[in-house]
Amino acid sequence: MAHSFVKYNGANVRVHDADLTAVICLLVDAAQKNVKIDGKVRESVLRWANAARTWGPGCIDFDLDTVLPDRRTVNEFRELIGEARRALALFGEKIPGEYLNDRLGLSGVASRQALPVRLAEQVLSDLEKLLS
């Protein structure tokens, strides 16, 4: 099982790559729906999704210190996390594999199984703690 480290402001969290990939999908959906999000934050979320599609989550440089240089952008990212959390509630117990496949551009190849919502919820909680 592969893991990634997401770092911010001298702290870091370790997350499982499959869980992180699901969270990136949720964040992309949230960023595309939220017109109030700063362009830099939105561009970064889209860049993370592209990197996840291309290389996998272990190769993503989240660069949160650059993406979130001030309180305003941190709060916007927190808002995205909240929107992702609300979206999770709509899935029930599992995020369907089809949802993940569609967002990762796998052209219908079912290489991702359904992911328990609790795992994505844990990543979102870890990201929130990292921002504190």
Task: Tell me how far apart the alpha carbons of residues 132 and 77 are, in angstroms, rounded to a whole number.
Answer: 12
pLDDT confidence of residue 57: 66
**Residue 130: burial class (beta carbons within 10 Å; 0-12, 13-18, 19+):** middle
Quote helix, strand, coil % in the chain, to nearest 5.
60, 10, 25
pLDDT confidence of residue 83: 94
| Length of the chain (residues) | 132
pLDDT band at 107 (very low <50, low <70, confident <90, very high): very low
Question: Residue type at 53?
Answer: R
pLDDT confidence of residue 108: 42
pTM greater than 0.95 = no
The tally of domains found in the chain comes to: 1
**Alpha-carbon distances, residue 95 vs 25, 64, 67 (angstroms):** 11, 26, 27
How is residue 114 written in tokens? Answer: 């359904």
How far is C-alpha 73 from the geometric centre of its chain's CA atoms? Answer: 16
Q: How many CB atoms lie within 10 A of CB 38?
A: 17
pLDDT in tens, 88-102: 999 999 999 889 888
pLDDT confidence of residue 95: 95
Q: Which residue has the tokens 């199984």?
A: 113
Task: Give the residue numbers spanning the domain of 93.
Answer: 3-131
pLDDT in tens, 50-67: 888 787 767 778 889 999
